[in-house]
C-alpha cells in the first residue's frame, strides 16, 4: 500500500501539470471504488485548480468551492497523460484538463477513492487526524506526552494516525532502527530523550524516502512510471536473517499488530 512518501511523490509529480489549469470534464468509467464516486465529481466542469495538497495519505485538489479528495488505496496510480491516450484496463477516472492533458486514475483492486469535500466542511475520513510528521507540529515531546501509561507496542503507537499521520509499516520499522528502539517495547516505557530521537528519525526517514521517490515493493510507481528507490536503502525492513549493517548481528522479524516487524535485537532495546 502506498504510504506517505509515495503519496507525496505523487503530489509532486502531478502538481506542475494541474496548478492553474482548468478541469474541463470528468470521465468516470467505473465509480465503484472503495466508496462510490459522489455526484459532485461527476458534474465538475470548467473549474480552476488552485492547488494540490496532501493530508496524510489523501491528495486534495482545490477547485475553489471544494476539493477533490483522492486516495490510492492498495494499488492506485495517478498519471498525467495526453487526453487522447488510449484507455487501458482499470483506468477508472479521467480529469480532463484545458491544456489537452488528463489526470488518469488507475486502480486494479478498486480500494482507492475519489471523494468530494465541500469548502468549509471536513470529510469523516479526514477528521481526527494527528499532525503531519514533517512539520513543526510534530515532535518528540508530543510522542512522550501521549505515550504515558500506554502498554501497546511503541511501533503500533507511532503508526496511530491520531498520534501522527503517515508513519506506515515500512517507515516505522526503519525509524525505530535509526533511533535504536525495540519495536516491541511498551510505548509508555520509552523515555522523553528517546522519543526526541525517534521523532527526528521519523522526519529523516520520511524525508529521505521522498527524495528517493518512495519505495517500490510491488505496486507503487511514480507519476512518470518510474519506481521508487528507497527500497535500496532499507536497513531492516524485509531483511530477516541478514546481517545488521550496524553491528553485524542477525535481523529478526515478528508480527506486531498484525504487521511484519523487522529489528536488530542487539541495536534496538
Q: Count Cβ atoms below 10 Å from residue 231 Cβ, excluding itself.
A: 17
On whether 90 is known to bind a ligand per the annotation, the reply is yes
Please indicate if the annotation marks 54 as binding a ligand. Answer: no
- Residue 18 C-alpha cell reads as 494541474
The answer to the question of whether 71 is labelled as a binding residue is no
Q: Which residues are catalytic?
A: 2-3, 57, 259
- Per the annotation, binding residues for DNA are 90, 109, 150
Amino acid at each position: 500500500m502506498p504510504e506517505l512518501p509515495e503519496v507525496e511523490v505523487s503530489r509532486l509529480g502531478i502538481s506542475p501539470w494541474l496548478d492553474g489549469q482548468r478541469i474541463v470534464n470528468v470521465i468516470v468509467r467505473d465509480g465503484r471504488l472503495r466508496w462510490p464516486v459522489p455526484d459532485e465529481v461527476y458534474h465538475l466542469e470548467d473549474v480552476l485548480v488552485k492547488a494540490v495538497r496532501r493530508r496524510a495519505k489523501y491528495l486534495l485538489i482545490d477547485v475553489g468551492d471544494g476539493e477533490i479528495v483522492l486516495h490510492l488505496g492498495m494499488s492506485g496510480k495517478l498519471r498525467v497523460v495526453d487526453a487522447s491516450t488510449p484507455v487501458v484496463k482499470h483506468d477508472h477516472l479521467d480529469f480532463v484538463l484545458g491544456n489537452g492533458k488528463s489526470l488518469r486514475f488507475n486502480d486494479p483492486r478498486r480500494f482507492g477513492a475519489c471523494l468530494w469535500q465541500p469548502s468549509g466542511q471536513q470529510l469523516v475520513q479526514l477528521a481526527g487526524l494527528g499532525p503531519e510528521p514533517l512539520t513543526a507540529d510534530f515532535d518528540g515531546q508530543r510522542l512522550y506526552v501521549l505515550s504515558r501509561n500506554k502498554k501497546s507496542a511503541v511501533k503500533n503507537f507511532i503508526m496511530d494516525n491520531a498520534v501522527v499521520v503517515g508513519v506506515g509499516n515500512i517507515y516505522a520499522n526503519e525509524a525505530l532502527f535509526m533511533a535504536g528502539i525495540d519495536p516491541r517495547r511498551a510505548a509508555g516505557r520509552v523515555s522523553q530523550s528517546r522519543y526526541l530521537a525517534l521523532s527526528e528519525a521519523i522526519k529523516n526517514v520520511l524525508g529521505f524516502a521522498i527524495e528517493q521517490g518512495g519505495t517500490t515493493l510491488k505496486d507503487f510507481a511514480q507519476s512518470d512510471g518510474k519506481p521508487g528507490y528507497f527500497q535500496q536503502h532499507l536497513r531492516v525492513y524485509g531483511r530477516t536473517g541478514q546481517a545488521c549493517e550496524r553491528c553485524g548481528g542477525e535481523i529478526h522479524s515478528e508480527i506486531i499488530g498484525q504487521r511484519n516487524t523487522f529489528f536488530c535485537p542487539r541495536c534496538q532495546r
